[in-house]
Amino acid sequence: MYLTRRLCRLLAGLLTASLAGAACAAASGSYPSKPIALMVPYPAGGASDAIARVLSQPISKQLGQTVLVENLGGVSGAIAAQKVLSAPGDGYYVFQGSPNEVILSPLANAAVRLQAEDFQLVQPISTAVLALVARKDLEASSSDELIALARSRKDKPLSYGSVGMGSLYHILVEHMQQLTGTKMTHVPYKGAAPLVQDIGGGQLDFAIVPFNAALGAMAQQGRLKLLATVGANRPALLPNVPTISEGKLLKNFAFTIWTGVMVKKGTPPDVVQRLNQALGNVLQDPAVRAGLEAQMQLVAAPMSLQEAARFYESETARYRGLAKAIGLQPQ
């Protein structure tokens, strides 16, 4: 009898430990157990939103849970970034962002309290070609002609738009003015979509914005002018459009911008790894690649978390250097 009771207690202990271990394993592997919000920091209709719409269903399939796209514009995208930081760091609020929101906005706006280090880059998604676009009746057809026109308009400066103070598109035009000795008027918007609409409607003179299919259609329809691209070389998707640096006045003026999926720093490593693997698989999906390319995006090669961390650190230093070069100060 004694041996039987002792054996029963031993077996019960082993069973309890086994169940506990199984429960722990299930808990660690249960992410995601509910829908995930993919926060887009600009209104619907812009390039960021289009990218999110391409990604959301394939990510949902990879993770086995619905991924809902949520748009929230304002303050160069910092409002949406802050919303992600205010949510629990559990992987259920992820951020589709760029250097605009997480690196540059705190350098330009004293009210923005976040820092690049508050986020962890899970996976870069794509790189956008930047384009210099102008209203259809602007008296300029190239970047050099735009600069010449700006120099002649001392009493009535040209207006240019961006997605907010401290956004890359604002900084690049400020850098352009610094290099050419011109003065222009900055008009901030909550997103690229309303900005481009105002250029198409003639209310805004020009801007540097990510090139996408909607922008290309407007250029083909004659609703705006595509003056130049901003990269080091002519992109394959716009072989007949010169780069800014091909002109005489802005040599070596070459920039692009990337988009990536990020989480709040301190999100559990197994959750971040799950997202990294899912996004890596999505980026190799031919349908996703075609969808991103249709939005004029250059698809990123999948990165490990270690590679993504090194890339993010390098990019943070690069963009902070650019902001310092133009004397950007928080206001």
Structural element, H or E, at residue 258: strand 257-264
* Domains of the chain, start order: 36-128+257-325 (3.40.190.150), 130-246 (3.40.190.10)
Q: Could you report the per-residue pLDDT of 230-274, keeping only the tens digit for each?
A: 999 998 889 999 999 999 999 999 998 999 999 999 999 999 999
| Alpha carbons 303 and 243: distance in angstroms, whole number | 29
pLDDT at 222: 97
Q: Could you report the per-residue pLDDT of 7-38, keeping only the tens digit for each?
A: 435 444 444 433 333 333 334 469 999 999 99
Omega before 157 within 30 of 0, i.e. cis:
no
What residue has token string 């041996």? Answer: 3
- What's the mean pLDDT when you consider all of the chain? 90
Average pLDDT over residues 286-307: 95
Count Cα neighbours of 286 within 13 Å in the Cβ-side half-sphere. Answer: 0
Count Cα neighbours of 129 within 13 Å in the Cβ-side half-sphere. Answer: 30
Q: Are 103 and 97 in contact (CB under 8 A)?
A: no
| Alpha carbons 243 and 233: distance in angstroms, whole number | 7
Read off the tokens for 135.
């209203």
Phi-psi sector, 202: left (phi>0), alpha (psi -120 to 50), beta: left
Secondary structure E strands in 79-118: 93-97
What residue has token string 């700006």? Answer: 150
Q: Could you report the per-residue pLDDT of 210-239, keeping only the tens digit for each?
A: 898 889 999 999 999 999 999 999 988 899
| Alpha carbons 107 and 114: distance in angstroms, whole number | 10
Largest CA distance in the chain: 105
Average pLDDT over residues 85-105: 95
Q: Could you report the per-residue pLDDT of 139-193, keeping only the tens digit for each?
A: 999 999 999 999 999 899 999 999 888 889 999 999 999 999 999 999 999 888 8
Average pLDDT over residues 28-56: 90
Give the contacts of 144 (CB within 8 A, at least 6 positions apart): 247, 248, 249, 250
Nearest to 42 by CA among 162, 170, 186: 162
The gap from C-alpha 112 to its chain's centroid, in whole angstroms, comes to 17
Q: Are 206 and 160 in contact (CB under 8 A)?
A: yes
> What letter represents residue 139's amino acid?
E
Q: Are 176 and 277 in contact (CB under 8 A)?
A: no
Count Cα neighbours of 94 within 13 Å in the Cβ-side half-sphere. Answer: 29
